[in-house]
Amino acid sequence: MLDDWDQIAPAGQPGECNVRRAESSHPLDFRIGKNFRSQYVFQLDATCSSDLKKSVPKLTGIECAFEPLSNERFRLSITLGDPADFRNFRLMCIGLLLATDAIDASRSDHGMVVTLGELHRWQDMLRQRRERLLARTEIIGLVGELLFLRDKLVPRLGILSALRCWIGQEGHEQDFVIGATIIEVKSQIVTADRLVRISSEDQLDPVQGRIFICNQGVAPVPPNNVESRTLNALVDEVRSLAASVGSSAVDLFEIALTAARYDLNDEYDQEAWILVDRSLYAVVGDFPRIERNDLRPGVERVTYSIRVADCEDYRVDLEATIAEITV
């Protein structure tokens, strides 16, 4: 995706851009190209309101311009300032394409709204990625999701389909959505009294589909342990799986890592992790949870914890459940 960007020649005149359709199969009019100064440009032409100009974000090193083409048609132009940042710029543009690929061409106004919203999300992701390392709890969470992806979903679905199902890093309520099945992965250091944190009243609401919680216990061990993986090593392992099937899988993986605010750092090699146990629980019947219908009017954004010990009646066979999942 967007692999031929480097082959596009710069525009011939100042103020012009030499562009082509980004993806011929995409319903919206996205274009890639270069301007007269050889800067990379990503554009969306859409029928929309001029009021959207107020929603255009300011990104470090990236210029966003919103200009009229006709009475109701406007162009959003996104220009990369520093070519050294092309990797992140390219991933962001792929993310914009993926976020809008189900929007019909007749609803290009909605496509522009979604694109601007995604630009704001990327603005936050890239800023936070630069500003701080992942906290230890965030490292454990990312390690857990990568372990589940590698161990359970890749053998069942293949790496490309598995990565498409990994949506938790995109700001969704759940970690993995496979067809009509939702799997929320909760990983923590092994303790006697294990709790899983639920981030909202919607996360375990069965109205969204068939939901499971995969609880994983991990333990820190010395990095030289043969069975352990540091976060950096685990990322490299999954990246190699993605590379084995092509650039589309690598792009999906790198976008997910960016959304998780992961960037290669020696600090992530200081501690290694090993999987101790893994159990799957079906969120059905009287499973301990809070749903939106349980809340009084005015109450929202609820966070709470569930004791894993109180979920034993809902434990299901992990291997059999994964085997029956279809995309």
Q: Do 204 and 297 belong together in one domain?
A: yes
Structural domain ending residue among the three candidates 95, 111, 131: 131
Better-predicted residue by pLDDT, 129 or 91: 91
Answer yes or no: do 270 and 306 share one domain: yes
Structure tokens at 5: 């960007």
- Inform me whether the pLDDT recorded for 171 exceeds 60: no
> In the prediction, which pLDDT does 180 show?
87
Round the average pLDDT of the chain to a whole number and report it. Answer: 91
HEC readout, 122-156:
HHHHHHHHHHCCCCHHHHHHHHHHHHHHHHHHHHH
Q: Is there a single domain that holds both residue 205 and residue 306?
A: yes
Q: Per-residue pLDDT for 302 more than 60?
A: yes
Choose one of 92, 107, 131: the last residue of a domain: 131
pTM of the model: 0.84
Q: What is the pLDDT of residues 197-235, one digit of tens each?
A: 998 888 888 777 899 999 999 999 987 788 899 999 999
What's the pLDDT score for residue 222? 83
- Total domains present in the chain: 2
For the stretch 102-144, pLDDT in tens is 999 999 999 999 999 999 988 888 887 776 789 999 999 999 9
What pLDDT does 170 receive? 58
Domain region containing 307: 136-324
- Tell whether 164 and 87 lie within a shared domain: no
Same domain, residue pair 237 and 143: yes
**C-alpha dist (Å) from residue 171 to 84, 93, 176, 249:** 27, 17, 12, 20
Do 108 and 202 sit in the same domain of this protein?
no
> Which pLDDT score, from 0 to 100, does residue 315 have?
97
Same domain, 120 and 144: no
